[in-house]
Structure 1
Amino acid sequence: MNKAVCGLTLCFVAGSGLARESVLEEVLVTAQKREQNVQDIPVTINVVSAETIDNFSIRNTADLADSVPGLVIQPTPQNLAQVTMRGLGTGSASESLDQSVGLFIDGVWSGRVRDFQSALFDIERVEVIKGTQNTLLGKNTSLGALSIVTRRPGEEWSGYIQGDYETRFDSAYLSGALNMPTAFGAYRLAFNAVDEGGYVDNRATGNEVPEREQNTLRLSARYDVLETGLLDLSFEYDDLRIRGDTFQPDADTLGFMQAMDPTADIGLDGNKNAFTSYSSAGDADDEQTSRRALAQYEQLLGGHTLTLLTGWSMFDNDRLTDTDFLSVDYLTSIFSSDYEQFTQELRIASPVGDKLDYIVGVYYHDSDLDYANITDSSFPPPFTIGPLPVDSSSLLTYQQDTRILSTFGKADVYLGANWQLALGLRYTEEDKDALWGRERLRSGGPAADILANLFSPEVAPTDLHRSEHNLDGSVSLQFDWSDGLTQYASWASGSKSGGFTNNVARPEDAEFETEKAETLELGVKWRLGQGKGLLNAALYHTDIDDFQVVSFVGTGFLTSTVPARSRGVELETRWLVSPGLELGASATYADAREKDTDLRLPYAPEWSASADVSWLLPVQAWGLAWRLEGALNYRDEQFQQRLETSPDNALTLLDLRLGLGRPDGRWEVALIGRNLLDESSSFGFDFPFFGGQVLPAGSTTIGSVSRPRTLAVQGRYRF
C-alpha cells in the first residue's frame, strides 16, 4: 500500500519496493464550491500559500497584490483600496460603489472597499481567481475574485507563535494560534497584532507616518453532527488605526503650492510638511472596528452534500484626511461609514460521478450602509476661482439598503473518457434604496455661496430607488489529453450591479448603470516530469459595456461608464528541481483599454511577473536546516488616472529570507529583507479643487511613496 508524506512545498511518495520519489505538492482550491486540484479545473487561479504569507509577513491585501501578477491593490489618501485584475476594476472614490473584483472570506462575500483592510493571519491559502466568475461565486465578480481561506480547527492539540521585528522603522508583528480538540468539538483561537512604524517624517507634526496599529482575534469551532454532519463556527474582532499618510506635493511647476505654503516640501521623498487642526496629533487619522461571524453546516444526504453558509459582518469607520496636504488649514475632509450585512446561502452538490456532477443553490443578501462626509474649505485670497472665494463647509449624508436574491446552478457533463462540458447559470434580483442629502454647515459669505451652490449645493434628503434583474452564464469545454495534460475553452458573462454614487453635486446625477462583462479564455494546464513540474498558459479577452471608471477631476471624483476591454495572456510554471529546491515563475500580459478612444485604463500595467525560489539545505552535523527563499516581483508602468494621466514608473520588488531551524519546522529563526532594491511606487493626482480647473492639468499634483527597504528578524515556534 502506498503512503504519501507531504511537507510544506513537496510530497514524498513511497511504497513497498518503490524508490523514494519527490513531486510537487497537490494544491487544492474551493473556487468552484468543491475541493478540487487547481490543475484539474478550467479556471486561471494563482494560489498564495500560508507559508508565503507567514514567511514574508504579508499582513494585508496590498502587500499580497505585490506577489500576484495581474493583481493591483493601490491605497488612496482615504485608505480605500483601488483594486484591478488584468487591468480592470472599480475605482475607490465612492464607498457606495460595489467592487467588480469580489473579496470573499471563508466563502462569504465581503466586497465593500473598506473590507480590503482585513488582516491576513492564520491563513490556509489565498485564491486569486481571474476572469468572470458570477455563476457560482455571484455578487459582483464580473472581473474576478480574491478568496481568503482561514485555518480551521484540527484534531490534535497544537499551535504556533511567530514574532517579527523590523529594525529600520521600529515595527513589530506578532501572531499565533492554539488548536484545542475536546470531547465536544474542536476549537481554534488565533490572534494578530501589528505595530508598524511610519517611514515618512512629517516635519510639521514631528510624527513618522503612517503609523499602523491593528489587533485581531478570531475564535473558531468545529463540531461533528450525528454521523455525516459538520458544523463550523467562527467569530472575528478587528481593531485598526492608521495615523498619518504619505501624500505630499509632487509637482508645482507654477509655484502655486509654495505660494499657499512657503514651507511646502515639493517632491516625493521621505519628508513632508502637513498639518490639520482637526486632528489632535495634527495628522490624518483612520479608525475602524470590524466584526465578522460565520456558520457553515454540511450534511451528507444520500451521497449529495447540503451546505448552509450564513455570514454576518459589520464595520464602523471614522477617518480624517488633510486634503490640502500642506501645513496650512485650507481643506479638510472627514468621513464616517457604518456598514452591516447578512448573507445566507443554501446549496446542494451531487456526488462526483461518471456522467454528471451538479451544484444548485440560492443566495440572499441584506446590507445597510450609512455614510457621511464633511468637506471644509477655507482658501484665503488670492486663492480663489476667478473672483469667487472657496470658503464653506458642508455635510453630505448617504444611506443605502441593498437586498439581493439569486438562484444559481452549474452542471458538469462527462462526454466520454476525456471530454467534459460545464454549463452554469445565475439569475439575480437586486433592489437598492438610498437616501441622499447635503446641508450647509458654514457659509463664507454671499460670494463664496455662489461656488458652494455650484459644486456642493444644499439638497434636502432625497429618496432614490433602483431595481434590476441580471442573468449571468458560463460555458466551458475541457479535454484531457492525459492524466497530466488538460486543455480548455471557456466563456462567461457576468454583471456588477449599478447603483448610486455619492460623489456628485446632485442626487439626480448619482445613478449609474449595470456593468456587464464577457470573458473568453483558452487555456492549457500541464503536469510535467512525472509530477516534478507544471506549465499553465491561458489566452483571454474580456469585453465590458458600461465599465465604471473613476477619475479625479479637481473638484471631486467622477464616475463614468465607458466601453472597455482587456486581452492578454497568463503564464505559470513551477519545478521541483531536487527534493530541497523549488523554482516558480508566473506572468500576466494585459492590454486594457477604453474601446472608444483606445487609451489605456488606470491601474493597468501591461506586464507583471513574479519569480520565486525555495531551497532547503540540511546541516546534518547540527541536526538543523537552512532555508533560503526569494521572491522577485515586477510590474510595468501604469497610469493612475483616466485619459493616461499621472504615470507611475515600473516597479521591481526583491524580497529575500534566510532561515535556520529544525527540518520538521518546529522552530525557526530568520532574517527577512523586503524591497531590497529600495524601489518605490506612487499614487498621484491633480491638486483638489484646482488641478485641471484653474491650473493646467499636471502642473500641480499630489503623490505618495511606498514603503522602502526594510530588514526584519523573525522567530517562529510550533508546538
Structure 2
Amino acid sequence: MPSTHPRFRPMPRRRALLLALLSGLAMQAAAQQGAAPAPEAAPPGQTASADATTLDAVIVTAQKRAERIQDVPIALSVFSAQSLDELKIEGGAELLRATPNVTFSKSNFASYNFSIRGVGTKALSVTTDPGVAVSFNSTPLIRNRLFEQEYFDVDRIEVLRGPQGTLYGRNATGGVVNMIPSLPSLDGLEANLKGEIGNYDSRRVAGMVNLPAGDTLAFRLAGAWTRRDGYDYNTVTRRDVNDRDLWSARGSALWTPNERVRASLVWEHFEEDDRRSRTGKQLCHRDPGPERVGATATDAPFYREYLSQACLPGSLYDEGAFGTPNGASLPQMLVAPGFVKLGWLPDFSDFVYALRGGVTAPIDPFGDVRQSRDLREIATTYDPRFKAENDVVQLNFDFDLGNGLSLVSQSAYSKDDYYSTQDYGRFASVPIFSDSGDAVDDEGNPAFALTPGGVYTDPQLGPSSGYLAVDLSRARSKQWSQELRLQSDFDGRFNFNVGANYLDFEIDEDYYVFNNIFSLLAQGFYNQDALRGIAGYPPMGCPQNLDPSLPFYLQCVYIDPNPIDRIDGQGHNYFRSRNIARTRSWAVFGEGYWQLSDTVKLTAGLRYTDDTKITTPVPSQLLLAPGLRGGGLVNSGYPALSDVRQSWGKFTGRLVLDWKPDLAFTDDTLVYASLARGYKAGGTNSPGIGADPEFLGFIARDTTFAPEYVNAFEIGTKNSFAGGKLQFNASAFYYDYRDYQVSQIVDRSAFNENFDATSYGLELELAWKPTERLRLDANLGWLKTRIADGERSIDVMDRTQGKPDWVVVRPWLQQASNCVAPKDYVERILAVAGDYNIAPTILNNFCSPRFFLGGDLLPGGFYESLLGFSYDPRTDGPNGGQGFYADLGGNELPNAPRLTFNLGAQYTFLLGEHWDLTLRGDYYRQSKSYARVYNTVNDRLRSWSNANFSLTLNRPQSDLSVQLYVKNAFDKTPITDAFVNSDDSGLTTNVFTLDPRIVGLSLRKGFY
C-alpha cells in the first residue's frame, strides 16, 4: 500500500500526464538540429549584453543613485528577475544559496534570522530591530512578509553586505536586502502569465499586465498565488501540516507629466491562511533524574522528578535526541498529581472530599516513547493554523530641479497582522486523568467532578484524556516613514547626496501558552469553584473584582471561559506575554563624492540618528491571585506597569577610497578600501511575572538591553577580464563588534544580553562565460568570529557548569526557572525529610525559600530545626541561585559558519532557428556552525549542502518558456538552526530545516 506520508504521495494523474507531455516536448525539441544562434540569457545578477559572449553589469541603486554594479565600492550581490528564475530563488530565504557569507533560518515566535557575515537578528523582543535591514523599493520595513511571500514581478534584489551607516543607515549593522519591484513602463502594452504544478500537489499562478494610458501615465498590475500540501505529516491526526495557501497582489501607477517630474504609487497586499507551522520538530535527550544524590537513593515519589530538568544537553543528531521530555518533572505535573485527593493543608480536610478526579500520580504524560527520526514527521493531537495579512503603500516623487540637482521624496505606510497557533510541545500524550465518576462527599453531596470519564475539558482547548499544550502568537503593527533626499549630478569632480527621514512604528503583540493542566490547577487547586462551595458560597465562578472582605481562599484565579479563537485575554489559567511598543526615529544624513583624479574617488558619509522607543510592560499572570499561595496581586486581567522610555542619539558613517587603475591584464578594475561605523538601537526585555518578588523570590533582571555597534574595515576589488567574458570580485573585512544582542528564555520571557565580538573574513565571486553557450558561476565566503574574552552568561541547559557539589532543582509552579542547590543540602533533605514525606515540598523551596509561609528555609524558618541548616539562594547560591556563569571567551557567534560556497554551471543548446534548451545546476554548501553563544554539544549544527537543477526550453521570439526543475535534489533534511525552550517547558529544543525535494514544471508566456 502506498505511504500516506506527503513525501511519498503520488502526484494526481492529470498533473502527472501534463508533466509527461511537457517533458516530452522539451526532449523532442532537444533532439532537433540547428545552429541559428538565439539571444542568450544573462548570468545571475546581470543583464544580457548586446554581445552574447560577454557579461555586462546591471544598474543598481545601492548608493541610492543609478550606477553600474562594478563601479560601486560596496560588497554587493544583485539578482535580476531572470537570474532569480534561473537559480530558482523564489523567496528571501533562498538568497543564501547565491550570496557569500549569508545564512538564513526560521526562528521562534514567527521570526527569522537572515545573517550576513555572522551578524543577524538573534535577539527576540518587539523592540528589536533586524540586524539586516529589509527594504521594499529602498524603504526599510521593521515588520514585513518579504521573507515569507514568494517573489513575483521583481526588477531585482540587491544584497548589500556590511554595515550601511549612512544612506540606508538606521540599524543596518549587518547589511541590507532591498527588493525592488518592477514599476509601470510607458513603452507599450505588455503582459505575461506563468502557471506551475509540482509535487505536494503544488499549484502556482503568477502574472502581470503593463498598460500605458497615453504618453504620461501607465499602470501595472501583478499578482501571484500558491497552494500546496504540507511538507510535514502528523501521525496522530493523520493530516499533512506545514502547507501553504497564499496570494499577493501589487498595483502601481507611474506619472511623468514632463521630463522633470516622475511620480509613482505602489500598493502591495499579501495574504496567507493555511496550516503552516512556525517551528520544526522538538528534540530532547531525556533526563530521568539522578538515581542517587551522594549516598541517598532517589526512589521515593517525586524525588527524581524534582531533580530532573526534563531534557539534558546532547547532540541534536544522536539517537538520544529523539526522546521525549521527562514530563513528570514539569512544574505543573509535579503539582497536579494527587492534589485532588490530599488537599494542600491539613486544616482543609473537607477539601479532600470536595474534589474528585484529576491527574494520576506520578505520571509522565509522554510515556518515555521514542520519536520518529524523520524531522518532517510529528506526533501531536493539535494541528497548526497560520493567518497573515500585510499591506505596503509607497508614494515616490522625483523632481529634476535643474542645474544637476534632483529632489527625491519617498513616503510609505505598511501594516501587518498575523495569527499563528500550534502545538507547544510536539509529543503525543498518554491518558493521564482519573475518572471522577459520581463521587460524593461524607455528607452525601455531589463532589466537584473535574474529570468525568477520565476526560478533562479545558475551556480553550476542549476535551482531552491526556496532557495538551498549545501556543498562540498574534500581532498587529503599523509603520509610517518619510524620506527626502537632495542629489547632485554635476559634471565636475564633486557630487553629493543629502537627506532626512522619519519613521514611526507601533506594535501590539501577544504570545499565549495554553495548557489543560494549568486550567485544571486553576479550577481545583486555586479554588475556582470547589472551596467556594465548601465555605457556603455558591459555586458561581470567580468574579472579576473580589470583595476584599472575603476570606483569602476566595481570592481565586479567574478562568477564561472562551475557546481559543475568542479568548478575552484576562484569564490567569494561561500564560500571556503582551508586548506593546512604539518606535520613533529620525535622521539627517549626507554623502559627498570627490573625484580626486581621473582614477581615484573619495566617498565620505555621515549620519545622525535619533531613536526613541516607548514600551508598555505587561507582566504575565499565570496561576496568580491574591491569597494563600496565590503569589499574585490581582486575580484577573493583566495590569500594565509604567512605560519604559529609551532614547539614543548616535553618529554613524563611512569613508571610502576607490581607485580605477588602467591595468594591462584587465578590462576594468575597481579597488576600494572603506571604514564604516554601524549602530543598532537597544530595547526592552519582555516583562517578567506579575507577582510579589519577595513572596516568590524572583531575581531582579535588567529590563532593557543596550544598543550594538560595529566598526568595520573592508578592502575589495571588482574586475572584468577577457573582453567582458570574466568577472571576478573579492573583498576582505574585519569587524570590531560591541554589545551584539542575543536572547534566551529566562523566567518565561525573552532575556537579551550583549556580547563583544570580533570577526573577519573573505568573499569571492566569479562569473565566467567562456563561450556563448556556457556560463560558470561561483561564490565563496570564509568567516571567523570570536566572542571577546571575559564575556559570560548562564546557560539554562547547564546551570551547574559541571561542578559536582551542586545539583539542579525544580522550582515551584508559579516560578519559571530552575535553580541550583548545594548537593549536601539536597542529600540531607532526602535523608531526613523523607521520613516525613515532605522532601518534595522542601526541595521546591530552594528556588524561593520565602514561598511557604512559616515553613521556609530561611533562618528561624520551620524547616531549619528539622534539617539543621538555613538557605537563601539570593545570598547563598551562585548568581542568586540561577547557576554558574559559562565562559564565552573565544566562542563563535551563532549562525556563523566558517565556509559557505556555491558552484553553478549553465549550458544552452541551440535547437533550430527558434528554440534553445538550457540546462543549469547549482550546488551550495555551508560548514558547521552553532545555534547559541555557548558552543556546547547541543548547539552544534552540522554542515549541510543543497543541489538544484533546471531544464528550460525557450522560444525567445514568442517569449515562451517551459521549465522543469528540482530543488534540494537529494532531499536533504539538515538542521539549519535550533532554539532552546524555557525551563518549565522542559528545555526542549525546537529545530528548523530546509524544504524537502521539490519538483516542478512551469509554463510561461509573454504578450506584447
TM-score normalised by L of structure 1: 0.90
Give the partner amino acid of 1:672: Y
Partner of 1:406: 587
Q: Deviations over 1:136-173 (max 9, x none)?
A: 11121111111111111122211111122112x11112
Partner of 1:611: 903
Contact 1:398–1:437 (CA under 8 A) maintained in structure 2 = yes
Partner of 1:308: 409
Contact 2:91–2:149 (CA under 8 A) maintained in structure 1 = yes
Shift of 1:603: 0.9
Q: Deviations over 1:529-551 (max 9, x none)?
A: 11111111111011111110123
Partner of 2:675: 491
Rounded Cα–Cα distance in structure 1 between residues aligned with 2:489 and 2:40: 27
CA gap 1:710/1:142 in 2 versus in 1, 3 angstroms:
same
CA gap 1:423/1:56 in 2 versus in 1, 3 angstroms:
closer
Partner of 1:261: 366
Q: Deviations over 1:448-506 (max 9, x none)?
A: 856x99xx997633211011101111101111112611111100001111121326557
Contact 1:103–1:147 (CA under 8 A) maintained in structure 2 = yes
Rounded Cα–Cα distance in structure 1 between residues aligned with 2:181 and 2:144: 20
Rounded Cα–Cα distance in structure 1 between residues aligned with 2:151 and 2:49: 32
Contact 1:232–1:295 (CA under 8 A) maintained in structure 2 = yes
Give matches, 1:143-542, under 5 Å: 143-154=174-185, 155-167=187-199, 169-183=200-214, 185-245=217-277, 247-254=280-287, 257=324, 259-262=364-367, 265-275=371-381, 282-302=382-402, 303-328=404-429, 329-377=467-515, 392-438=573-619, 440=621, 442=623, 460-482=640-662, 484-502=668-686, 504-505=688-689, 509-542=702-735
Shift of 1:704: 3.9
Rounded Cα–Cα distance in structure 2 between residues aligned with 1:554 and 1:584: 49
User: Which of 780, 796, 803 pairs up with 1:587?
Assistant: 780
Contact 2:107–2:978 (CA under 8 A) maintained in structure 1 = no
Contact 1:132–1:143 (CA under 8 A) maintained in structure 2 = yes
Contact 1:438–1:457 (CA under 8 A) maintained in structure 2 = no
Q: Deviations over 1:229-258 (max 9, x none)?
A: 100111011102341436223333446526
Q: Deviations over 1:118-152 (max 9, x none)?
A: 44211111111001102011121111111111111
Rounded Cα–Cα distance in structure 2 between residues aligned with 1:6 and 1:306: 38
Contact 1:97–1:501 (CA under 8 A) maintained in structure 2 = no
CA gap 1:357/1:7 in 2 versus in 1, 3 angstroms:
farther
Shift of 1:40: 0.7
Shift of 1:21: 6.6
CA gap 1:72/1:137 in 2 versus in 1, 3 angstroms:
same
Partner of 2:740: 547
Q: Which has the higher helix share?
A: 2
Deviates more, 1:124-133 or 1:705-714: 705-714
Rounded Cα–Cα distance in structure 2 between residues aligned with 1:25 and 1:269: 43
Give the partner amino acid of 2:675: W
Rounded Cα–Cα distance in structure 2 between residues aligned with 1:39 and 1:620: 35
Rounded Cα–Cα distance in structure 2 between residues aligned with 1:448 and 1:710: 55
- SS of residue paired to 1:137: coil
Shift of 1:406: 0.7
Contact 2:280–2:375 (CA under 8 A) maintained in structure 1 = no
User: Which of 766, 769, 777 pairs up with 1:573?
Assistant: 766
Contact 2:40–2:772 (CA under 8 A) maintained in structure 1 = no
Contact 1:186–1:222 (CA under 8 A) maintained in structure 2 = yes
CA gap 1:116/1:270 in 2 versus in 1, 3 angstroms:
closer
Query: Structure 1: which 5+ runs fail to align?
Result: 15-19, 276-281
Shift of 1:398: 2.2
User: Which of 908, 933, 941 pairs up with 1:642?
Assistant: 933
Rounded Cα–Cα distance in structure 2 between residues aligned with 1:161 and 1:582: 28
- SS of residue paired to 1:39: helix
CA gap 1:117/1:11 in 2 versus in 1, 3 angstroms:
closer
Q: How many residues align?
A: 689
- SS of residue paired to 1:573: strand
Rounded Cα–Cα distance in structure 2 between residues aligned with 1:561 and 1:145: 22
Give the partner amino acid of 1:142: T
Contact 1:252–1:701 (CA under 8 A) maintained in structure 2 = no
CA gap 1:501/1:225 in 2 versus in 1, 3 angstroms:
farther
Partner of 2:922: 631
Give the partner amino acid of 2:64: K
Partner of 2:974: 681
Shift of 1:75: 0.8
Give the partner amino acid of 1:42: P
Partner of 1:279: none
- SS of residue paired to 1:136: coil
Contact 1:392–1:444 (CA under 8 A) maintained in structure 2 = no
Rounded Cα–Cα distance in structure 2 between residues aligned with 1:609 and 1:152: 33
Contact 2:106–2:992 (CA under 8 A) maintained in structure 1 = no
Shift of 1:77: 4.4
Give matches, 1:643-658, under 5 Å: 643-645=934-936, 646-658=939-951
Query: Structure 2: which 5+ runs fail to align?
Result: 1-38, 289-309, 311-323, 326-363, 430-466, 527-571, 691-699, 790-888
Rounded Cα–Cα distance in structure 2 between residues aligned with 1:706 and 1:286: 19
Partner of 1:713: 1001
- SS of residue paired to 1:51: helix
Rounded Cα–Cα distance in structure 2 between residues aligned with 1:204 and 1:271: 10
CA gap 1:648/1:6 in 2 versus in 1, 3 angstroms:
same
Rounded Cα–Cα distance in structure 2 between residues aligned with 1:497 and 1:93: 13
Rounded Cα–Cα distance in structure 2 between residues aligned with 1:228 and 1:113: 33
Instruction: Percent identity, please.
Output: 24
Give the partner amino acid of 2:577: L
Q: Deviations over 1:163-203 (max 9, x none)?
A: 22112x11112111111111151111000111122122101
Rounded Cα–Cα distance in structure 1 between residues aligned with 2:180 and 2:641: 41
Partner of 1:72: 103
- SS of residue paired to 1:53: helix
CA gap 1:530/1:447 in 2 versus in 1, 3 angstroms:
farther
Partner of 2:347: none
- SS of residue paired to 1:54: helix
Give the partner amino acid of 2:609: T
Give the partner amino acid of 2:929: Q
Give the partner amino acid of 1:110: L
CA gap 1:711/1:576 in 2 versus in 1, 3 angstroms:
same
Shift of 1:439: 5.0
Contact 1:357–1:412 (CA under 8 A) maintained in structure 2 = yes
> 1:138 and 2:169 equivalent?
yes
- SS of residue paired to 2:94: helix
CA gap 1:429/1:77 in 2 versus in 1, 3 angstroms:
closer
Contact 2:129–2:171 (CA under 8 A) maintained in structure 1 = yes
Task: Work out which of the two has the higher radius of gyration on C-alpha atoms and give 1 or 2.
Answer: 2
Contact 2:685–2:751 (CA under 8 A) maintained in structure 1 = no
Give the partner amino acid of 2:196: D
Q: Deviations over 1:75-116 (max 9, x none)?
A: 124331122111111225323311111001101101337653
> 1:8 and 2:42 equivalent?
yes
- SS of residue paired to 1:52: helix
Partner of 1:278: none
Contact 2:605–2:655 (CA under 8 A) maintained in structure 1 = yes
